[in-house]
Amino acid sequence: MKNIQLLGLLLVVAGSFLPLVHVPIIGNWNYWKLDHYLAITCWVLSACAAFGLINSSAKVVRTFGILLVLLFAFTLLAVKMQSLEYFSFVPFKSWRETFAGVVKLKWGWAVEFLGAILMILSGNKIKNK
């Protein structure tokens, strides 16, 4: 089961370099282009989970997997709120929501969430030393 958690960790790290958000005219953004601090937080949490994997601590890996899922959910909420904020100059609320809907989420989020969920769910079978 340690290999599955390692696979989940690799998916989280690789997913941070995949396209997460598509902004028209500008293009696709990964975690680093979205926000440097969120990207660094993702990598630090992944490094802490790697430390738990090296020490065969299922609780540590599971804890940081949960923290990663919370970080991803926060990032999705922040992307939605920021896209609404970009179009705050538009006088009508329905137009604001329409323009904010142009910002699309990409397939990289599926890789991110899959990796974190693998880290959480596969930790039950590891025996601590």
Angle between helices 58-86 and 36-54 (to 10 degrees): 170
Q: In a structure prediction context, what are the per-residue pLDDT tens digits for the chain, which is 129 residues long?
A: 688 899 999 999 999 999 988 877 778 888 888 889 999 999 999 999 999 999 988 899 999 999 999 999 999 998 888 877 776 777 777 777 777 777 788 899 999 999 999 999 986 654 555
Predicted local distance difference test score (pLDDT) of residue 68: 96
Torsion angle of C-alpha atoms 119, 60, 68, 18, degrees rounded to 10: -50
Q: What is the per-residue pLDDT for 45? A: 95
> What was the pLDDT predicted at 128?
52
Question: How many Å apart are CA 101 and CA 112, to the nearest integer?
Answer: 22
User: How many helices, marked H, and strands, marked E, lie in the chain?
Assistant: 6, 3
